[in-house]
Structure 1
């Protein structure tokens, strides 16, 4: 495996994981409407990145799966929703929300680094396919990271001082 295929595989895995974590967070924190709606939209972005990565990887003889499902509907999702609603005003869910946002931020930051590595490899190898892919997807990953950071900034003072 060469460096480009390693990076494509790692980034694909990271985007799939981020999409899953965004969906789980949206289902876990149903009382936070911005989390529910924005996290699902951001998960779609990561799934779109997975599709683009899989298409690009085929050029390098690398077979990558498609995206993760955007919704994990089913009994587990219903249990998460019920638990989130039942515990909506206790401080523990607030701490869980901050932890989830931190994890989302770190996952997006890791993906951002891989996008940067891919862009640099494309530039060094004059590979316009990699350059276009990174230029198209990386800004959305940066936006995912900024969203998580902004949510932490907005929610942390209230959550942490109310304990």
Structure 2
């Protein structure tokens, strides 16, 4: 397995984790409607990325598992929703949201760096399939980064001062 294959595998895992982290944060902060809906929407991008990375991996002889299946709503989902409602708009919930945004931002940055590494390798080796994948997916990861960064900038002053 060469470096490109290892980076594909790492990026696949990173994107899968980012999707799950976005969905979990969206559930934790369900009462923050804008955050909940945007996080759910941008999680779909990471799910699409894992699907496309797995397809490219198969073409290269790599066995990358497909995207994780969403668990069916059950006791854990109900518990998360009740916890979200109980926290509501208390200061602790705001600090938790900032913590989650920080972690989501760092996860998106990590994925972005791997996309950039793959873009450089694709250009150097003239790998059109890889370059096409990076060109399609990396801008969405950059938008995930910008969204988390903007949310941190908007929320930090009020939440940190009033905590």
Give 1:1-163 correspondences, 5 Å limit: 1-70=1-70, 73-163=73-163
Count of aligned positions? 163
**TM-score if structure 2 supplies the norm length?**
0.96
In 2, the alpha carbon distance for the partners of 1:113 and 1:106 equals: 11
Contact 1:111 1:141 in 2 (8 A): yes
In 1, the alpha carbon distance for the partners of 2:146 and 2:90 equals: 27
In 1, the alpha carbon distance for the partners of 2:70 and 2:113 equals: 24
In 1, the alpha carbon distance for the partners of 2:70 and 2:141 equals: 17
DSSP-derived class of the 2:65 partner: coil
Deviations 1:65-119 (A, max 9, x none): 1112356632111111111111112211111100000000000000000000111
In 1, the alpha carbon distance for the partners of 2:159 and 2:69 equals: 31
Bigger drift between 55-64 and 68-77 goes to: 68-77
List 4+ stretches of structure 1 deviating above 4 A: none
In 2, the alpha carbon distance for the partners of 1:7 and 1:14 equals: 10
Gaps of 5+ in 2: none
In 2, the alpha carbon distance for the partners of 1:70 and 1:146 equals: 26
Q: CA deviation at 1:145?
A: 0.6
Contact 1:31 1:84 in 2 (8 A): yes
Gaps of 5+ in 1: none
Contact 1:23 1:70 in 2 (8 A): no
In 1, the alpha carbon distance for the partners of 2:52 and 2:17 equals: 16
Q: Output the aligned Cα RMSD.
A: 1.1
In 1, the alpha carbon distance for the partners of 2:128 and 2:24 equals: 35
Q: CA deviation at 1:149?
A: 0.6
